[in-house]
Amino acid sequence: MNGNTFRRLATTAAVSAGIAGGLVAGAGSAAAAETQVVPMSTCFGLSPYIVDQPYIASRAFFNQDGPGTGNLTLADVSSLWFFAPPYLSDTRLDWHNKTTGARGTLTATTPIGMGSAVYLRLNSGPGDVEITRSAVNRNALWSIPTTSCTGTVRVN
């Protein structure tokens, strides 16, 4: 075996080992940070810009990062309005842990533009947690409330 052949084999072995190691490490990381998709009934409301697409949301995403706690993302809301600044959405999320009886309320104000999301920190303790979302969307002239929607998050 000459020197060039040996170098090619050594390089191929090193690259293969690196890829295999990356796949194994990646599989472990992905399992630890699994996102739970939470189907919800549909929230509906008009955009304060009226001729914009309506406010429609029907799911949430939950990433648990510790016992009884994690990050909740309320997505699927956007605006196509580009003539003025984004409108503001005052979001309210009421939660009730059906297992322990604990309750709480989280709030956030978010500018709604293309592909907006609301990020909340849920610290409910372990159990089945019912979440109820509602919002009031506003611009400089008026505010329009949405309907509320519910879903259940499994928190370990």
Q: Where are the domains of the chain?
A: 1-32, 34-155
pLDDT the model gives residue 149 = 96
* Contacts of 137 by beta carbon, 8 Å cutoff, 6+ apart: 45, 46, 47, 48, 55, 87, 88, 89, 90, 112, 143, 144, 145, 146
pLDDT the model gives residue 5 = 38
CA end-to-end span of the chain? 57
Place of tokens 């089945």: 128
Task: List per-residue pLDDT tens for the chain, 156 residues long.
Answer: 544 433 333 333 333 333 334 433 444 444 456 899 999 999 999 999 999 999 999 999 999 999 999 999 998 888 988 888 899 999 999 999 999 999 999 999 999 988 899 999 999 999 999 999 999 999 999 999 999 999 999 999
Residues of 27-51 as b/e, b for ≥16 C-beta within 10 angstroms? eeeeeeeeeeebebeebebebbbee
CATH of domain 34-155: 2.60.40
Cα 68 from Cα 65, distance rounded (Å): 8
- 86 in Cβ contact with 116 (< 8 Å): yes
